[in-house]
Copies of this chain bind each other. A is one copy, B any other.
Amino acid sequence: MAKPNHKAASSNRVSKTRALRRALPRALPRALPRPLATAGDDTAIAALKLEPAELSPEMAAYFAKCEEKLGFVPNVLKAYAFDMGKLSAFVGMYNDLMLAPSGLTKLEREMIAVAVSAHNRCYYCLVAHGAAVRALSGDPALGELMVMNYRAARLSRRERAMLDFAVKLSAEPWSVEDEDRAALRRAGFTDRDIWDIAAVAGFFNMSNRIASASDMRPNSVYHGQAR
C-alpha cells in the first residue's frame, strides 16, 4: 500500500467508531459536529508564509522518490523547500543520522526520536516518528508508549539506558557527565554508539523546536499508518 486509500480508511474508521460509541456504558449523545483535527494539516503546513523555491534537480529527485516510495512528501521537507541550501543541509543531516550505518538499529533511532519529542511535546515529530516506530517494530503499542511515557514500556536494559540518556540530555543537558556515559557503556554501548545516541537526541531537540516555532503540521496520512 504505497498510497493509503484515504476514502476507504475513513469510512471504515467511522463505522468502527459508531460501533464503539454504541457499546459504551449508557447512551452517549453524539458530540456536535466539529472540523477534523487534521483539517488543513496537508495544505497549510506551517504558520510561516514562505514561498516555495524551485526545487534543485537533486531535491526534485528526492521528492519524487518520496512520492514513489511513501506515497507522499513529508511536510517537513515541503516546509524547508523555500530555500534549497537549507533543505539539502537538513536532508543531508537527517539521512546520515537516521539511515546511515550505526551500532543503533533504525528502530532504536526512531525510539529516541519519539521519546525526545515526547519530552518536548512536539506534535509534528510525535506523529511522524511515532508512525515509524509502529512500522519498524510491527508493534503499534510500542509507538504509543514512546509517545506517552517510555518509562512505562517493557524495555530491554539496553533500550532503557539509551532512552534515559536521551531524555536526560533533553531535559538537563548541563548535568550530563561521566557517570551517564559510563551507564551507557555498562549497558553495552560503544563510544561511537554514545555519539550516535547523543546526535539523534540532539537532532530531535533541534527539529522539535523548528516544528514548534513554525507550527508545522504532519501529513495526515501518518495517523493511520501501521496501526
Residues of A within 8 A of B (CB): 1-2, 4, 13-26, 28-29, 31-32, 34-41, 47-50, 65-66, 69-71, 82, 85-86, 88-90, 92-93, 95-96, 99-100, 105-108, 118, 120-123, 126-127, 131-132, 134-142, 144-145, 147-149, 151-154, 156, 165, 169-170, 173-178, 181, 191-192, 194-195, 197-199, 201-203, 205-210, 212-215, 220, 223-227
Contacts and interface: CB of A to CB of B under 8 A. Distances in A.
Contact of A93 (B41, B93, B100, B148): B93
A14 to B, nearest CB: 6
B215 A209 contact: no
Contact of A86 (B106, B122, B199): B199
B226 A173 contact: no
Contact of A2 (B22, B86, B195, B209): B22
A176 B213 contact: yes
Given A13-B140, A122-B173, A149-B174, 11 more contacts: A25-B65, A25-B69, A31-B105, A36-B141, A47-B178, A85-B96, A127-B148, A140-B223, A144-B223, A198-B214, A205-B206
Contacts of A209: 169-170, 173, 198, 201-202, 205
Contacts of A174: 120-122, 149, 151, 212
A226 B69 contact: no
